[in-house]
Amino acid sequence: MPVRLLLIGDIVGKPGRQIVTRAVRGLRIEERLDLVVANAENAAGGSGLTPVIYAELIAAGVDAITMGDHVYRRREIFALMQRERKIVRPANYPQDAPGHSFTVLRGRHPVPVAVFTCLGRVFMPPVDCPLQAADRVLAMLPADVRVILMDFHAEATSDMQLMGRHLDGRVSAVLGTHTHVPTADECILPGGTAFQCDVGMTGPHHSILGRRIDRVMETARTFRPTHFEVASQDARLLGTIVEIDPNTGRATGIRRICVDESAADQLAAVVDASVMQRKTRSETGKNL
Ligand SMILES: [Fe+2]
Ligand SMILES: [Fe+2]
């Protein structure tokens, strides 16, 4: 049986969290997902993550969380990042930066899955070489880990393509986050690595990258600073599903997904139906 992984693109604010809560359990059933990973660097008010929101996302059915350049916007996350193994910081941050540079998890499928992230270097804060950082992570992974997902948090498509080619044949997937805009270049590279420059944003799409259009526009036109409040309309969950051969770690399929609000309601109904089915089955069992 293949391993089926979903990477959810940058979750932005409350609208992003709400659609994750409505959709993920249904997606797990409908798409037969073994593991769900989400980038949550914008989950708290559009920037950073708090322990309460971390717990909310895990309760919604997310197995692991990756972070990006906004990882330390909320100080209260430092201790949790040190303690928890379901969340990772960029692996090309300094060694003493709070948090772990990779994690190995077991989802519904029995094989272990490694997850890590690095920041790109174009239009990003200065960080270590992501190519070398990725090599260091791979050297640290236990030998039995063949299924590996890398979230490459980068601005430039050239950075993304470099990483995809650098890791081709050595990881199962290199999927991008950070730009909040999905790219239509999903493919499987010659060595068997699934690749996409950016999986997109999970949040309000009537916006500028998740923020209110009027606020961003005002600052862009007048240079007067405004609060870039998270927008509220047209929430969508964007992400990419990768299917992987557990014996080789090679990808056998990749597909973009977009769940809008009405699709999320349908997915919530799928969960309700499956709960009802299980309840009926256990009650019938009791009567026998
Ligand atoms: Fe980012
Ligand atoms: Fe982001």
Sign of the dihedral defined by the CA atoms of residues 39, 40, 43, 47, in that order? negative
Per DSSP (E only), the strands in 33-84 are: 35-39, 64-66
Distance of CA 153 from the midpoint of ligand 2 (Å):
8
What type of residue is 213?
Answer: I
Distance of CA 88 from the midpoint of ligand 2 (Å):
15
Q: How far is CA 49 from CA 38, 58, 75, 278, in A?
A: 12, 13, 9, 34
Ligand (nearest to CA of 180): 2
Q: What is the pLDDT of residue 279?
A: 82
Distance of CA 262 from the midpoint of ligand 2 (Å):
24
Question: Which one, of 34, 42, 107, lies nearest residue 74 by Cα?
Answer: 42
Low-confidence ranges of the chain (pLDDT < 70): 285-288
Two structure tokens written together for 31:
């798409």
Ligand 2 (single-atom ion) residues, CB below 5 Å: 10, 42
Distance of CA 78 from the midpoint of ligand 2 (Å):
19
3-state secondary structure of 57: helix
Query: Could you give the residue numbers annotated as active site?
Result: 70
Ligand (nearest to CA of 9): 2
Q: How far is CA 210 from CA 13, 14, 41, 154, 230, in A?
A: 8, 11, 13, 17, 6
The structure's pTM equals: 0.96
Q: How far apart are CA 93 and CA 108, in angstroms?
A: 31
CB atoms within 10 A of CB 29: 13
Distance of CA 18 from the midpoint of ligand 1 (Å):
20
- Virtual CA dihedral for 12, 181, 147, 71, nearest 10 degrees? -40
Ligand (nearest to CA of 154): 1
Report the length, in residues, of the chain.
288
Distance of CA 39 from the midpoint of ligand 1 (Å):
9
Q: How far apart are CA 34 and CA 28, in angstroms?
A: 7
Distance of CA 79 from the midpoint of ligand 2 (Å):
22
pLDDT in tens, 8-62: 999 999 999 999 999 999 999 999 999 999 999 999 999 999 999 999 999 999 9
CB atoms within 10 A of CB 265: 13
3-state DSSP of 239-262: EEEEEECCCCCCEEEEEEEEECHH
Ligand (nearest to CA of 8): 2
Q: What is the pLDDT of residue 287?
A: 56
